[in-house]
Copies of this chain bind each other. A is one copy, B any other.
Amino acid sequence: MKVVHSGEARRASRTGSRNTGIDAPTSPDGLPLDTILRGDCVAQLSRLPARSVDLVFADPPYNLQLQGELKRPDDSRVDAVDDAWDKFESFEAYDAFTRAWLLAVRRVLKPTGTLWVIGSYHNIFRVGAMLQDLDFWILNDIVWRKTNPMPNFRGRRFTNAHETMIWAAREPGAKGYTFNYEALKAANEDVQMRSDWLFPICSGHERLKDETGHKVHPTQKPEALLARVILSASKAGDVVLDPFLGSGTTAAVAKRLGRRFIGIERDATYADAAQARIDAVETLPDLALATAPTAREAPRIAFNALIERGLLMPGTLLTDAKARVRAMVRADGMLSLETAPGLGQIGSIHRAGAIAQGLDACNGWTYWHMDTREGLRPIDSLRARVRSEMAMAAE
């Protein structure tokens, strides 16, 4: 297992050598793709080119404050998170840490990139407030509901059965971030994906164990959780970065889903385990990864194109679905309303539809219909024909 140290990683990238056993060419802007960078995440992030990463997933230390050992009712000790990396002197220290890595992440994010952070009530409120203070723009908070959480042993609180993720854009007003709405909806019984997700915790075969059978990492996240995050907010080929890679779940899932990854981890044991894990992952075939051409991304067709291609003749009468409103197709691609309200007014299919309904806006492609042998059909069916003809021609 070859693991690249930070300085070496940069050199290796520049020369285009293989870092992880798969082909890992350096991107034009010098990103060390498909690599684990070892060291402090702020230091490593500051060496990466600015505006180069599409998606960041961060699972920072939780700042847990257990007041001593936690015991089960049978007096056995719970193997809680008490590692040194999870200790902070104070909230101030934790905030300073959070501020530093968030700023470093903001620098490497593309303007269209987004950030996910996962946490529990111990730290997520501080992270969320800092995100807002630093002018990130929260898009959603997502609740990971655990099917099998650890019970509350003392019976003094509710079973802590969830963790919270914050999904944020780089800044207010950020446009063009990736959100695969249609795919998520199609995969969810054709209703919108909600902000509450249900997954089991990571256990069984998926949970990394060392030679002695102990878990390698105390907070290994389930791959299913990362898969939904990555499929939601990135495209195949995008660069996914995890500044607290830990056991490598983000990188392993990113690789499997055909994304490029950059992981940062300062603990050698974790980095070694993550590298071995990533090396064993195979990327799914392209066909299984292809993104559906969404309606939003489909090529734009001008109404004019229907006329130019002879699918619609000037002078044709269009109507609404109930054939109450009428409008005539003009040679210049505008419609002329022939019924009130708006009688005699001229506008695009969208404007004319809006005027006819007394609305501010209207999708003329679905509003206007034409008479065919099979009855009234929306002109959108003609647009679909043009689109498929164009696709054929492009082959």
Residues of A within 8 A of B (CB): 67, 71, 75, 91, 120-122, 124-129, 131-133, 138-143, 145, 147-149, 151-152, 155-162, 164, 166-167, 173, 179-190, 192-196, 199-200, 224, 227-228, 231-232, 257, 284-285, 287-292, 296, 300, 302-304, 307-309, 314-315, 328-334, 336, 346-348, 350-351, 357, 359-362, 390, 393-394
Contact = CB atoms under 8 A, between A and B. Distances in A.
Nearest to A333: B187
A314 B124 CA distance: 33
25 contacts: A75-B359, A124-B141, A125-B131, A126-B132, A129-B129, A140-B160, A151-B192, A155-B296, A158-B193, A158-B194, A161-B195, A161-B196, A162-B194, A183-B334, A184-B332, A187-B332, A187-B334, A187-B348, A199-B308, A227-B308, A228-B304, A228-B308, A257-B331, A289-B331, A292-B334
A131 B192 CA distance: 33
A189 B303 contact: yes
A133 B292 contact: no
A142 to B, nearest CB: 7
Given A75-B359, A331-B288, A393-B148, A156 B179 contact: yes
- Top 6 closest A-B pairs, CB basis? A187-B333, A125-B128, A186-B348, A224-B308, A161-B194, A288-B314
A116 B210 CA distance: 42
Nearest to A120: B141
Nearest to A231: B332
A192 B125 contact: no
A155 to B, nearest CB: 4
Nearest to A188: B302
Given A121-B138, A187-B307, A285-B315, 19 more contacts: A75-B357, A121-B140, A140-B160, A141-B164, A142-B158, A148-B393, A151-B192, A155-B296, A158-B193, A159-B195, A162-B195, A183-B332, A185-B348, A186-B332, A189-B350, A288-B328, A289-B314, A291-B332, A292-B334
Work out how many copies of this chain go into the complex: 2
Contact of A129 (B126, B143, B196): B126
B315 A183 contact: no
B347 A149 contact: no
Nearest to A391: B344
B302 A187 contact: yes
Nearest to A330: B288
Contacts of A125: 124-129, 131-132, 166
A303 B187 contact: yes
Nearest to A347: B186
Given A140-B121, A186-B351, A331 B196 contact: no
A190 to B, nearest CB: 5
Contacts of A333: 183-184, 186-188
A350 B190 CA distance: 8
Nearest to A187: B333
A92 B184 CA distance: 37
A379 to B, nearest CB: 13
Given A181-B156, A188-B302, A348-B190, A315 B330 contact: no
